[in-house]
Amino acid sequence: PHPECHASTIAETASGALVAAWFGGTAERNPDVGIWFSRLVARADSAAAASSPSGRWSPPVEVANGAQADGTRYPTWNPVLYQSPQGDAPLLLFFKVGPSPSEWWGMVMESADDGRTWSEPRRLPDGILGPIKNKPITLPDGALLAGSSVEDAPEQPVWRAHFERSGDLGRTWTRTDGLAGRTAAGEDFWIIQPTILTLGDGELLALFRSKQSRIAASRSTDEGRTWGPVYATGLLNPDAGVDGVTLADGRHLLVYNHKVRIDGAWAGSRSRLNAALSDDGDTWDASLMLEDQDGEYSYPAVIQTRDGLVHLTYTHRRTRIRHVVLDPAALPRHPMPGVEWPAEAPALTPASE
């Protein structure tokens, strides 16, 4: 229903429905860009879902926009769906409103019926943006921990990531300071859009989009209250969004663009989308080449549903959102000793899409 779409998010609701959202309009940054939502109808509403992970996505509906009380309308950005595992907790939809990432503010709305109806959006407290691109994780005490970041702010010209915690489903929040680190060349890391992996015993690994041509990382040993220095991984990054998930068997799955930006240009830098696996968050093996052709394939969102399958959505040439289903037990692994993607890593063969 719109010329461009981007920045999808996907979640499994308390009832087992699969839902997705993204922003769409004439083009990113235009004031007509709103937040759109869809449900996987067959999986949620049909007995056929018991035998197949695939289904029919409902026609997208716009559930939020940036219209203000004075008649001004701003673009919306980067929706993030979150379903707490606690009892009858509502489905949360976070998003941003504002003329640009340096000026946007965080919003949240709730649904108690798998996204059929929504509460009025409410603005998050000052200084809190909510999850900036990727899903929060649920901590052992039930609190949600969201990766967030600030970019291009006048008071903070260097991109900085931080983390926001809420123990009451987004009503009240605390936040960490911005994370810092320096590259081997002595440059400040520019990092945004954390994704959080769980390593066990309270240890967390955050992976970041960066401007340093590598995915950056930081570790926490106290469930995200404090974080160690930022460091570079061996995984390439063309200044593009990444997302990961810790699987039920303890492995970590990461989806990202295994390329670098050439001469600072966007063209072609997001044309390859990859999936990698790790046992410890340090050493990563190549798994699948999800896309490798002209165009943009970017901003992945990945979850594992209760049936064990992995669901992935991502931007497909800015004209649609693609949904892919993977069986994690069937994911191949190929060592990746350097920065080159191994030729033997297969192209995508999803269970369904």
In a domain? residue 117: yes
In this predicted structure, what is the pLDDT of residue 244?
Answer: 99
Tell me, yes or no, whether 330 lies in a domain. no
For residue 95, being part of any structural domain is answered with yes
Look at residue 158 in the predicted model and tell me its pLDDT.
83
Distance CA 257, CA 134 (A): 16
User: What's the rounded Cα separation, in Å, for the pair 8 and 33?
Assistant: 14
DSSP string, 90-156: PEEEEEEESSSTTT-EEEEEEESSTTSS-PPPEEPPTT----SSSPPEE-TTS-EEEEEEE-SBTTB
- Give the model confidence (pLDDT) of 79-120 as tens digits: 999 999 987 899 999 999 999 999 999 999 999 999 999 999
Q: Report the alpha-carbon distance of residue 11 to residue 245 in Å, rounded.
A: 12
- Residue 286 located in a structural domain: no
The reply to whether 292 falls in a domain is no
Residue 113: CATH number of its domain: 2.115.10.20
Total domains in the fold of the chain: 1
Quick check: is 338 in a domain?
Answer: no
Average pLDDT, the chain: 93
Give the pLDDT of residue 198. Answer: 98
Question: What range does the domain containing 8 cover?
Answer: 1-123
How many angstroms separate the CA atoms of 235 and 222, rounded? 25
pLDDT tens, residue by residue, 114-153: 999 999 999 999 999 999 999 999 999 999 999 999 997 7
Instruction: Specify the pTM.
Output: 0.94
Average pLDDT of the residues in 275-279: 98
- Distance (Å, rounded) from C-alpha 203 to C-alpha 25? 40
- Cα–Cα distance for residue pair 18/41, rounded to 1 Å: 8
Between 39 and 44, the more confident residue is 39
1 vs 153, which has greater pLDDT?
1
- 38 falls within a domain: yes
Identify the bridge partners of residue 82 per DSSP, sorted by sequence position: 92
162 found inside a domain: no
